[in-house]
Structure 1
Amino acid sequence: MADTLLGPAEIRELAARLGVAPTKKLGQNFLHDPNTIRRIVAAAALRPDDVALEVGPGLGSLTLGLVGAVRHVHAVEIDPTLAAALPETVRATHLTVHPADALRVTGDWFDPAPTMLVANLPYNVAVPVVLHLLAELPTLRGGLVMVQKEVADRLVAGPGSKVYGVPSVKLAWYAEAKSAGKVPPAVFWPVPNVDSGLVAFTRREPPAGATRTDVFAVIDAAFAQRRKTLRAALAGWAGGADRAEQVLRTAGISPQARGESLTVEQFAAIAAAAKVSAPGGKLSPSTEMEVDS
């Protein structure tokens, strides 16, 4: 793999040949450090039978590392010029290039089905892309993504952290996430103004008792006014502050708590409690016992 990876000179030469200049609109910062590519591939803990999904392959730096580690690579690239050039750069029969927006990906696009997401994601769409792909591709068992360090911190944050929020909880619905290290700006062209961070995640079963749509609605409402207590923050979602308090007490959560202190399981418990508690009514003792258990 060492002989095939692209360094700074090769990246600039390839870009010049293609007439490509990195654009902020597409969040393009091309990775040009072979050691960082090796580090990403190693940290992803890929298996030889894995099928990797890469979003935003750009000029092909990481793609070249991935094709040597897995049985197939799907690369989704929104820039038509880069998508057309990638097969020529990588020259691997087990590479399929999809010239498309990753936010439009659906499960029937890929054969074979992806098992791992490994990507240097554009900063401006990183969180929506990760959540969309986990929702659309149940075959993904996990992944490793490089994102802006600030975003990485949010994705791996736990309850009680100052940066714990909507991305943290929604990713936790799908997977267990952890930090896999920091990446300095110097390994990119152009050089970004911020550090990047690696986030590794492993899919898990989501909390039981409520649908993803219902749970995500609670999460969005709770963090829309994160300084307020849940009784106040969920009033609009629940149909009034009194109703919100009733649902929270049914779920076994203090109405004075704030969203930043709750786990994804507790958000699921709130969504479930809203289903069994009729507006303006009380739960029967048997229902309360079922919810508490």
Structure 2
Amino acid sequence: MSSAAAAPSVVGVIGGGRMGAGIAQSFAAVGSRVVVVERDGATAAAALERIAAGLRQAAERGTLAGPSDLDVPERVIAVSSVAELPHDADLVVEAVPENAGLKAEVLAAAEDVVRDGCVLASNTSSLSVTELAAALRRPGRFLGMHFFNPVPVSALVELVLAPETDATALDAAVRWTHALGKEDVVVKDSPGFASSRLGLALGLEAIRMVEEGVADPEAIDKAMRLGYRHPMGPLRLTDVVGLDVRLAIAEHLRTTLGERFAPPRLLREKVARGELGRKTGQGFYRW
């Protein structure tokens, strides 16, 4: 079966930032019709431009599967309200900022719009999907679909199960993950899941090493790339993810798992100065 044949027909993505745009691009590229929700016309237009730019880059690299690059942008539209999500959506992925109240609010609003069989998913990298599920009338159709940045070229989707997630929702999420050409890992809901918990532990320790003068960022990253065959060192990865995002996850895991996830002073200082990584041009590296 081709990727396009296995993909969901209609996908809603709530949030058109870097992650949401990447998710929308990935589904559009394998044949899904995609509706992106942003808060107003200006941000919706910016989201569409991110998606179009990503598709052009994929076409230039020769990695665009399924429909031609000229057809794909026609499959993506942007709206300014969750109420405008298509009723016939097969999947709605929430990709708004890591705020539990905001995520629960938009997921509950989406549930009021879509058909009963639609799978709802959160792209959260660390928040409890069990708590998010509590905001829904049909929690069995909900799970975490944790995509990785940059979404179009990342190989993994971490599927996170709440206690009430039913087998039908999980089976669909696995099938759609494979339709995107990605691999899945299935984990039970736990603070930080598997990927964020382990990745953050390594990243925080690398920041502490810089703070203590053990080595500079380039040396630490080179040691992990060449010594442990990591494709990217933990400090460069922190820049890609965003230092503010890493700080928020660290604060959450400190609350739930203890002081071993306490954010280093250097991380707090860089975020306070606006040195958030690649998106601001300066983090542990200059971009």
Q: TM-score range by the shorter chain?
A: 0.3 to 0.5
Structure ranking higher in helix proportion: 2
- Return the TM-score normalized by structure 1: 0.38
- Return the TM-score normalized by structure 2: 0.39
